[in-house]
Amino acid sequence: MKKIHFIYVLLAIGLTFTSCETMANRLVNRAISGAITGGSSESSYSGDDSSESSTTFGESTVVDFKNGEILVTLDGEKKGATYYTAKVLTPPSTATKNQAEVVFIHDGSTAWANFLTNSHKATQEELKIGKEVLFMSYTEGDDSVDGDSYRKYPWYIGRVTSLDFLYKGQVEVNGRLFALKLLRIAE
């Protein structure tokens, strides 16, 4: 009984000094650490290094990928694939059988991949029902993500299913609401 009471006290202290979001971020970081494995078979990487870095304006933070960062999956198909932010070490070429060597931002591991895509932040003007977008699953209903999380958490492809809440800056993707400012579009 004393052990349970002690655990509750530690939990209360931890929650007092750490926000729930920070704890969730730490858990997700641990869960995705080293999670990339598998093969791939397609490339759409253009080598463009025009992405922007994270910038702070007053109290709000504008999050984005840093220059040269792209989305990469080692899954065999685009549908249902998990994408991670990476930088290209060796561009795809005939000598590399159209594969690119990449280093993943979330854990520093390297791999050879065929599924690479440049992307940009989605804009309201680009969106329509059925449009494919990239989203971070854990951000459903939330619009507060720091730049580090934006670059390190996994991304998925979904389709816009409703624009009814666009006036609030929210877009329904696969039946779930996400902040427009956190969605990306593959190029």
Residue 48 lies in a domain: no
Are 86 and 123 members of one domain?
Answer: yes
Token pair of 147, please?
């730049």
**Per-residue pLDDT tens over the stretch 86-95:** 999 999 999 9
**Per-residue pLDDT tens over the stretch 96-105:** 999 999 999 9
At residue 1 the predicted structure's pLDDT band, cuts being 50, 70 and 90, is low
Token pair of 64, please?
């984005």
Are 75 and 159 members of one domain?
Answer: yes
Are 97 and 16 members of one domain?
Answer: no
Least confident of 3-17, 68-82, 92-106: 3-17
Are 19 and 82 members of one domain?
Answer: no
Residue 46 lies in a domain: no
Are 71 and 135 members of one domain?
Answer: yes
Closest CA to 118 of 41, 185, 42, 179: 185
* Total of domains in the chain: 2
Residue with tokens 């804009």: 123
Least confident of 7-11, 14-18, 160-164: 14-18
- The answer to whether residue 56 scores a pLDDT higher than 50 is no
**Mean pLDDT within 139-143:** 78
- The answer to whether residue 54 scores a pLDDT higher than 50 is no
Name the strands in the sheet holding 119-121, side by side, starting at the edge strand that comes first in the sequence. 119-121, 184-186, 132-135, 156-162, 170-173, 176-179
Are 116 and 160 members of one domain?
Answer: yes
Token pair of 137, please?
């699953």
Residue 45 lies in a domain: no
Token pair of 107, please?
């854990």
Residue 110 lies in a domain: yes
List b or e across 59-91, with b for residues whose CB sees 16 or more CB atoms inside 10 angstroms: eeeebbbeeebbbbbbbeebeebbbbbbbbeee
- What is the rounded CA–CA span in Å between residue 116 and residue 70? 7
At residue 20 the predicted structure's pLDDT band, cuts being 50, 70 and 90, is very low
Residue 140 lies in a domain: yes
**Mean pLDDT within 61-73:** 90
**Mean pLDDT within 1-9:** 49
**pTM recorded for the entire structure:** 0.68
Residue 8 lies in a domain: yes
Query: What pLDDT, on a 0 to 100 scale, did the predictor assign at position 145?
Result: 87
Residue 151 lies in a domain: yes
Are 78 and 128 members of one domain?
Answer: yes
Give the range of the structural domain holding residue 17, as residue numbers without chain letter: 2-32
Query: What pLDDT, on a 0 to 100 scale, did the predictor assign at position 41?
Result: 38
